[in-house]
Amino acid sequence: MLSGHHHSVRIHRHILIHSLLLFSTLLLLSSAFPQFLAYAKTKGGATLFALTGTMSPLLPSSHLQGQVDTQQRISLSIGLRPQHQDSLNHYIQNVVHITSTNHSGFLTPIQYPTTYSPTETTYRALIQFLQNTGFTITHTYNHRLLLDFNGTVRQVEQAFHILLYTYKGPDGQRYYANNSDPLLPVRFANDIVAINGLNNALHWHPTQLLARRITTIAPTPSHSTCPLPNKDYLTPDQFATAYNLNGLYHTHIRGEGQTLALFELSPFAKSDIMTYDACFVKSHTIIQEIRVGKHLKSDEGALEVETDAELALSALPQLKVLKIYEAGNDVTSYLSQWARIIQDAPAVISTSWGLCEKALDAATIRQENILFAMAAAQGQTIFASTGDTGSAGCLGDTTIPLKSIGIDDPASQPFVTSVGGTSLSLKDTSTYSNETTWNTTREPPKGYNGASGGGISQYWVGPTWQNMPGVRNAYSTNKVCNAPVGKICRETPDVSLHANADHGYIIYCSAKATKTCSNNTPWNVVGGTSASAPLWAAVATLANEVSLRQGGHSLGFINPLLYQIARNPQKYSACFHDVMKGNNDNNGLNDGRYPATRGYDLATGLGSYNGYPLILTLVALARQRKGS
């Protein structure tokens, strides 16, 4: 217990902060992210502003438990907004739209900070403020969009004029959080977007499903113990034939000279990836393990990492470099990893980790968007899986009390290509037959049941490039995201690929930290939209290789190109498999939402790829960008 005097001071400060913020407006996100400021003064007369959107959406459904140990050290970061936002928005619109007459090429990681990053003066002033308050700076970034630091809870409370309490969430888990907006010096009012790490309620989940272990393979990894083709799972050769990648391979387009990055939130066993590679790929890919921060914890996520890596290698047999970034599964580490990846600027990134939009605070969503906008300006392509709980996107997040319609972030972000799931049928062992929406939630369980994530964003207005038959449908709305009249909210997924775990992808995992992987039965059959995302990232990587060989550049943010193809009926039928059967309603929770239809739909997006013609068409369209 605190002393009576100190306790009363804390209570008084808590009441004062609430009274100061009584008339502040809660941030409502739109595509422009307006920030409404409330001001206050310290006893010394310094003017402060309230940073809105930092409180966890879980607070109303959580139970207050008590105070946080003030000597506990926590890691945080401050996110900053870019300069010249209108100019940056205009630049990005020009650089990603095919019909732009002002396409001047993508920015490099050196060029972006020169024009659009917060100034060095602002960055240094913020560092000085944090150091003067007693914090330790742990990492800075060349783009100056994020600043990592740590300190004690007492320092956090004093510096930002808040109190941190412990809560018991709706899932029974304990977390700490602020229950009022932080206050900062007014000189930073136009610069700071978010303070990340004021709560530790958020933990991202992998969107990967394990169907079963293969028990007929001997445990000692060697070439003689590699799984043979089988009707119960897909090998890389079967996948490449079904989705028509072999045409590229025959012309020696197999990932040569290219780099693919994976965003991960768990350590992994590199030896597992090498064992898989020796069986199915026999590549000479350089695998770089890049750790961000110090909060990594070995857990079930290892299966996700190894699934992403092995499937990416399976479709890119001559990939030059596979970069696997790892960070701790908390909001500070999560954003720090994105900041590092975007600073490093690999051309293609895939992530299979997601979190229901309803679980995220507005500041985190806003910070992600700033980083992803920089990625678009630099010509990076980001793929994210939509999740495996269908239209009930929050069903897998036990922290959310509402088990209803919702979609996952970061797949919903407007500068990300969201990838849903289908169920692929073959004519024989490898020839494409047809696809339906992946939804096994109402079938007798053969493995793990799931459905393609998809639906309507509560944060984002529909981007201008997302326009083709089917996008405006019976479920489209402007109300969920408060879009202007005549607009609709962002819809996901953009595209899909086979995700049914009952006839899934074979991968190798013996990681000791997982309950699902085993040294005795390391060969597993997996599925889920986490398998779809890296395999779409592989197609973007192959397209970059073709483009560069023809004297072009990397394709960058790919969604405008995909929808441009889909608006042409002939190109669409040649490049995509339009999925028109099934829905992604999870166990009938949402009245049949959302059905697959002709063209775009909220179950499978534009559909899956016909690899060879899609890649050639993407490259041809990219070359039509004016000035490219």
Same domain, 173 and 274: no
**What local confidence, expressed as pLDDT, does residue 287 receive?**
97
**What local confidence, expressed as pLDDT, does residue 25 receive?**
25
- The mean pLDDT of 128-133, rounded to a whole number, is 98
pLDDT digits (tens, 9 = 90+) for 521-547: 899 999 999 999 999 999 999 999 999
**Domain presence at residue 615:** yes
pLDDT digits (tens, 9 = 90+) for 332-369: 999 999 999 999 999 999 999 999 998 899 999 999 99
Top pLDDT among 48 and 519 is at 48
- Percentage of the chain with pLDDT > 70? 87
Transcribe 457-505 into DSSP letters: EEEEEPPTT--STTTS-TT--STTTTPPTT--EEEE-SEEEE--GGG-E
Three-state secondary structure call for residue 396: coil
Query: Which long-range contacts link 99-103 to residues 24+ away (Cβ below 8 Å)?
Result: 99/626, 100/625, 100/626, 100/627, 101/626, 101/627, 102/626, 102/627, 103/625, 103/626, 103/627, 103/628
- The mean pLDDT of 551-580, rounded to a whole number, is 96
Burial of 294 (0-12, 13-18, 19+ CB in 10 A): exposed
Which residue, chain included where needed, has tokens 């990846």? 341
Same domain, 161 and 304: no
Residues 528/520, Cβ–Cβ less than 8 Å = no
Strands 164-168 and 63-67: antiparallel
Q: Return the minimum-mean-pLDDT range out of 153-157, 207-211, 458-462.
A: 207-211
**Domain presence at residue 124:** no
Same domain, 216 and 191: no
**Domain presence at residue 304:** yes
**Domain presence at residue 137:** no
**Domain presence at residue 97:** no
Look at residues 166, 196, 226 and tell me which one is the last residue of a structural domain. Answer: 196
Average pLDDT of the chain, as a whole number? 88
Same domain, 154 and 263: no
pLDDT digits (tens, 9 = 90+) for 586-625: 988 888 999 999 999 999 999 999 999 999 999 999 988 7
Same domain, 488 and 527: yes
Query: Total domain count for the chain?
Result: 2
Same domain, 592 and 501: yes
| CATH number for position 537 | 3.40.50.200
- What is the pTM (predicted TM-score) of this model? 0.92
Three-state secondary structure call for residue 247: helix
Same domain, 403 and 307: yes
Same domain, 393 and 441: yes
Same domain, 404 and 503: yes
Same domain, 166 and 298: no
Same domain, 268 and 374: yes
- Residue 418's Cβ-side half-sphere holds a number of Cα atoms within 13 Å equal to 31
Same domain, 189 and 215: no
Top pLDDT among 99 and 167 is at 167
**Domain presence at residue 125:** no
- The mean pLDDT of 19-43, rounded to a whole number, is 41
What is the residue range of 176's domain? 4-74+150-196
Confidence of residue 518 (pLDDT cuts 50, 70, 90): confident
**Domain presence at residue 80:** no
Starting at the edge strand found earlier in the chain, the sheet holding 209-213 runs: 209-213, 523-527, 505-508
**What local confidence, expressed as pLDDT, does residue 529 receive?**
96
